[in-house]
């Protein structure tokens, strides 16, 4: 189960980000047009390739990850996509 919330004025994703929730996450993040997004993923407990794909699709709006959880960092490292996402080195 995934929760999509606003914390301190920023979109935050909590819980399991997987094939079942990826489209919902992508659609929700797409509603934040305008300024570059700083997405808080610190509360993500599971993150799979479908969730990564959704996040990369939203990248056109210049998302930044704020304190990504270990689950998120693991997928980014395994897929060598850190260079595609601002804020990850």
Q: How far is CA 76 from each of CA 5, 6, 7, 33, 83, rounded to the nearest angstrom?
A: 22, 23, 23, 24, 9
What pLDDT does 4 receive? 97
pLDDT at residue 53 tops 60:
yes
Specify the CATH superfamily of domain 2-84: STAS domain (3.30.750.24)
Q: How confident is the model at residue 87 (pLDDT cuts 50, 70, 90)?
A: low
pTM: 0.83
Average pLDDT over residues 35-56: 90
**Where exactly are the structural domains of the chain?**
2-84
């Amino acid at each position: 189960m995934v929760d999509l919330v606003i914390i301190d004025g920023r979109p935050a994703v909590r819980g399991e980000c997987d094939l079942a929730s990826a489209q919902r996450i992508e659609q929700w993040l797409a509603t934040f047009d305008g300024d570059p997004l700083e997405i808080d993923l610190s509360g993500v407990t599971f993150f799979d390739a479908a969730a990564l794909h959704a996040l990369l699709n939203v990248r056109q709006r210049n998302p930044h990850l704020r304190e990504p959880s270990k689950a998120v960092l693991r997928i980014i490292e395994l897929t060598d996509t850190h260079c595609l996402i601002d804020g990850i080195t």
